[in-house]
Structure 1
Amino acid sequence: MRPQSSPSRRQSLRPRRTGAAVTAAGLATLAAALTACSGGTSAAADTKTDKPDISVNLQGKQAKAGSPVEVKLAEGKLKQVTVTDTKGAKLSGEVAANGTTWTSDRKAAPGTSYKVKAVTDEGGSARTSFRTAAPEHVNKLSLAPGKDTTVGVAQPLSVVFDHPVKNKAEVEKHLKVTTSNDTTGSWGWIKNHDGKDRVDWRPKSYWKSGTKVKLDAELNGVDSGADGGWFVRDYATGFTVGRSQQVKVDLDSKQATLVRDGQSVKTVPMSAGTPGGDKASWGGTSVLMAKEGTINMRSETVGLGDAYDKMVDNSMRLTWSGMYAHAAPWNAAYFGNTNHSSGCIGMSDADASWLYGQVRVGDPFEVSGSGSKGAPEPGNGYGEWNISWADWQTKSALN
């Protein structure tokens, strides 16, 4: 990128001329001229001082990223400073009370070229530029739920990182959650089921229907730490919470009930996982992760050997480890009387089709009764609802 002015030359700043008192010649230039400085030694132009009038803490073409941009004025007062990258994005900032220093609110991102323009109270201006060094490693992330979606009352905000995050507190400070009704919630750091670092924001209790939620992950220029790398962009998502409903699964009665706005809508017979081993269902609360429709289910993918290989309809994923609610017509003899599946919640074709049409991603499935294998880990789907609010808050890196 070509700088607007050379770092080795001084720019003259002339006062604004008004009226007939200003003639075309014979006037002295402004004594405290601003100098564009991007490294090296400034030479005098049409002033008599050797000192540069402005200086920038980041200079040259290999400036170190990860710190705020600071512009200092030797004499006079700054009125405005603009720092812009090649895409036109600006770093916001503030002039200090004494008027001699401007500091950006955010940090300079790696591998980015910036233009700096400083304007004084007297109307003079100077420009300079610099570029930060390219990052050795870049960290990326994925967000859930997707932007502009409508989700159930148990859906957390979930951020999964491609690489390890050692600077968890620094990263968490740049994750800004805004809700339409000031919902109380907290971030919590956990391990995703695949072992990746993950941070979720869940409310103290289920969301209120109609809540609008926005996440601004202002991570551009943040270092995630050793082996993780830099973030080189910002991320954002937002969603709306839909109607309040839960699916209550009773392992003792072998019944599943859809509850909406506190009222039971329908109860259907089902058969859950066989108690006493790996085929038992997960207990506690799981959250509907996806409605996957008709999929191939193979037992070896969940560590159960060659027990089954079936095309399964109306599949509703509840955990990463393979627990679903779905149609299971081959198990019809057990609906309502025996838990005899390989861990999933099976129903008739008709009942599974009906439930599939009623639920949405983010709805909680609350599994109670005897014979489960306990609650899933927080990272096995969205299992954080099985942790008390007090314990969840301790998982924030800022506590």
Structure 2
Amino acid sequence: MHRIRVRVHAPVRSAVAVALFASLAAACSANPAPPTADAGTAGKDGDRPVTVTVTPTGRQAAAGEPVKVTAADGRLTSVTVTDAKGRELAGKVAADGRSWISERKAVPGTAYAVTAATRTRGGTAGTSRASFATAPAAKVNKVDWRPGAGATVGIAQPISLVFDNPVENRAEVEKQLKIITSNGTGGSWGWMRDWSGKDRVDWRPEKYWKPGTKVTLDARLNGTDSGDGGWFVRDYTTTFTIGVQQIVKVDLDSHQLTLLRDGRTVRRIPVSGGTPGGDKRSWRGTAVLMAKEGTINMNSETVGLGDAYDKMVDYSMRLTWSGMYAHAAPWNARWFGNANRSSGCIGMSNADAAWFYSQVRAGDPFEITGKDTKGVVAPANGFGQWNLSWADWQRRSALR
């Protein structure tokens, strides 16, 4: 074996010593890498560590925005964002590996942990961790919705959401509301002020539902700012089915109620509607059966009619928030089929009411006609939106 000796002249030795000293000094430096950098894996051959940046940051970060993770001097291979309960914010790394954005927004009053797997340009793998917390909501907005999960409803049943607190950011909220149907039925949301005075949004198709349609509401509201300091902090979902095609025709001029099923007459029932010429008249137009309430106390004072009546009423079927029902009214027996002498409801005999009550379901439309009525059922008075044209209903959407 040949040995090769290299003689280093003094100036060169001095340069080598200086370089060696500088190298050792750098290796012992106390200057740390940024908190989100891949400081532990500087890589080989001078490969630079990946610098990871997470937004939002801090302990009182603003909620309502997606979480964003970016990488410099390398790329992201995966990102995991979880809250204190282990629930994960899903997301996807961009094709170039330089960014990741969560599919959902950060929720108020929540602490998040971020773990990013990285790879330097030279191929060295590493891990970066960060955390942040969002400021709590000034007030939480909740939702009451219809119909309930698993229900089978009539062909006129809308999806109806009533909010605890005002909704100023209507367009942003509406974007989070998804309707999925088994047959591709289209429809539109419409905003209104509920009878209770609260903000409300309903969804209905252009025409009555097709029987057998499966419907799912997927309200992805968690982390959405409703405005005026209110936030949604959970999602809502409900699934229901459209039952058989039933339409109730009520002719107040002939004092007859007709139940149609799949276009065929099932039965005609003599009735008595609201007394003409005053506040006791019935509404006309399309009302939707809101609920079957059984035996209830009806008090005229609750609908602004003084002390006209206060009695227990059987087979009560609510049609409006303003107090119009279909129900048994044996005290009005002599008027059934002959004249309108009720206080605004659609009354019938006990026997007919018992049978009819067993046949109908929430969501069945009552198409009411008559010359002497109070007017057409308003959209927020129960489910009166079917009295609007399709174009007028679409104009109530915050996204149009």
TM-score (structure 1 length as normaliser): 0.88
Task: Tell me how far apart the structure 2 counterparts of residues 7 and 188 of structure 1 sit (CA, whole Å).
Answer: 50
* 1:93–1:104 Cα contact (<8 Å) kept: yes
Gaps of 5+ in 2: 1-32
Stretch moving more, 76-85 or 233-242 = 76-85
Task: Tell me how far apart the structure 1 counterparts of residues 114 and 339 of structure 2 sit (CA, whole Å).
Answer: 72
* 2:318–2:324 Cα contact (<8 Å) kept: yes
> What amino acid maps onto 2:127 in structure 1?
S
- CA displacement, residues 77-98 of structure 1 (integer Å, 9 cap, x when unaligned): 1121111122332222222333
**Residue in structure 2 matched with residue 24 of structure 1 by the alignment:** none
- CA displacement, residues 104-146 of structure 1 (integer Å, 9 cap, x when unaligned): 1221111011111111255422222111011112111111100
Give 1:30 deviation, angstroms. Answer: 8.4
Q: How does 1:267-286 map to 2 (within 5 A)?
A: 267-286=268-287
> What amino acid maps onto 2:203 in structure 1?
W
Q: How does 1:6-85 map to 2 (within 5 A)?
A: 8=35, 12-14=39-41, 31-34=47-50, 53-85=51-83
Determine helix, strand or coil for the equivalent of 2:215.
Answer: strand
* 1:246–1:363 Cα contact (<8 Å) kept: yes
Determine helix, strand or coil for the equivalent of 1:350.
Answer: helix
Stretch moving more, 88-97 or 156-165 = 88-97
* 1:56–1:69 Cα contact (<8 Å) kept: yes
* 1:137–1:230 Cα contact (<8 Å) kept: yes
> What amino acid maps onto 1:85 in structure 2?
D
**Residue in structure 2 matched with residue 222 of structure 1 by the alignment:** 224
* 1:13–1:29 Cα contact (<8 Å) kept: no
**Residue in structure 2 matched with residue 239 of structure 1 by the alignment:** 240
Q: 1:310 to 1:9 in 2, by over 3 A?
A: closer
**Residue in structure 2 matched with residue 37 of structure 1 by the alignment:** none
Task: Tell me how far apart the structure 1 counterparts of residues 68 and 48 of structure 2 sit (CA, whole Å).
Answer: 20
Task: Tell me how far apart the structure 2 counterparts of residues 354 and 380 of structure 1 sit (CA, whole Å).
Answer: 26
* 2:292–2:357 Cα contact (<8 Å) kept: yes
* 1:280–1:343 Cα contact (<8 Å) kept: yes
Percent identity, please: 63
1:260 counterpart = 2:258 = no
* 2:36–2:128 Cα contact (<8 Å) kept: no
Give 1:301 deviation, angstroms. Answer: 0.3
**Residue in structure 1 matched with residue 163 of structure 2 by the alignment:** 161
Task: Tell me how far apart the structure 1 counterparts of residues 45 and 332 of structure 2 sit (CA, whole Å).
Answer: 92
Q: 1:284 to 1:30 in 2, by over 3 A?
A: farther
In terms of Rg, which structure is larger? 2
Instruction: Pick from 86, 89, 94 the counterpart of residue 91 of structure 1.
Output: 89
Gaps of 5+ in 1: 1-5, 16-26, 35-52
**Residue in structure 2 matched with residue 108 of structure 1 by the alignment:** 106
Determine helix, strand or coil for the equivalent of 1:385.
Answer: helix
Task: Tell me how far apart the structure 1 counterparts of residues 333 and 324 of structure 2 sit (CA, whole Å).
Answer: 19
* 2:63–2:135 Cα contact (<8 Å) kept: yes
Determine helix, strand or coil for the equivalent of 1:181.
Answer: coil
* 1:7–1:128 Cα contact (<8 Å) kept: no
**Residue in structure 2 matched with residue 203 of structure 1 by the alignment:** 205
Determine helix, strand or coil for the equivalent of 1:124.
Answer: strand
**Residue in structure 2 matched with residue 176 of structure 1 by the alignment:** 178
Q: 1:150 to 1:286 in 2, by over 3 A?
A: same
* 1:155–1:363 Cα contact (<8 Å) kept: yes
What's the Cα RMSD here?
1.8
> What amino acid maps onto 1:189 in structure 2?
W
- CA displacement, residues 269-309 of structure 1 (integer Å, 9 cap, x when unaligned): 00000112110001000001110000000000000000000
> What amino acid maps onto 1:388 in structure 2?
S
Determine helix, strand or coil for the equivalent of 1:106.
Answer: strand
Greater helix fraction, Structure 1 or Structure 2: 2
**Residue in structure 1 matched with residue 346 of structure 2 by the alignment:** 345
Q: 1:9 to 1:59 in 2, by over 3 A?
A: closer
Instruction: Pick from 107, 123, 126 the counterpart of residue 124 of structure 1.
Output: 126
**Residue in structure 2 matched with residue 329 of structure 1 by the alignment:** 330
Determine helix, strand or coil for the equivalent of 1:103.
Answer: strand
Determine helix, strand or coil for the equivalent of 2:139.
Answer: coil
> What amino acid maps onto 1:150 in structure 2?
T
Task: Tell me how far apart the structure 2 counterparts of residues 107 and 61 of structure 1 sit (CA, whole Å).
Answer: 16
TM-score (structure 2 length as normaliser): 0.88
How many residues are aligned here? 364
Task: Tell me how far apart the structure 2 counterparts of residues 9 and 257 of structure 1 sit (CA, whole Å).
Answer: 72
Task: Tell me how far apart the structure 2 counterparts of residues 217 and 80 of structure 1 sit (CA, whole Å).
Answer: 28
- CA displacement, residues 367-399 of structure 1 (integer Å, 9 cap, x when unaligned): 012111111211110000000001100000000
Task: Tell me how far apart the structure 1 counterparts of residues 302 and 40 of structure 2 sit (CA, whole Å).
Answer: 72
1:366 counterpart = 2:363 = no
Determine helix, strand or coil for the equivalent of 1:115.
Answer: strand
> What amino acid maps onto 2:233 in structure 1?
V
> What amino acid maps onto 1:80 in structure 2?
S
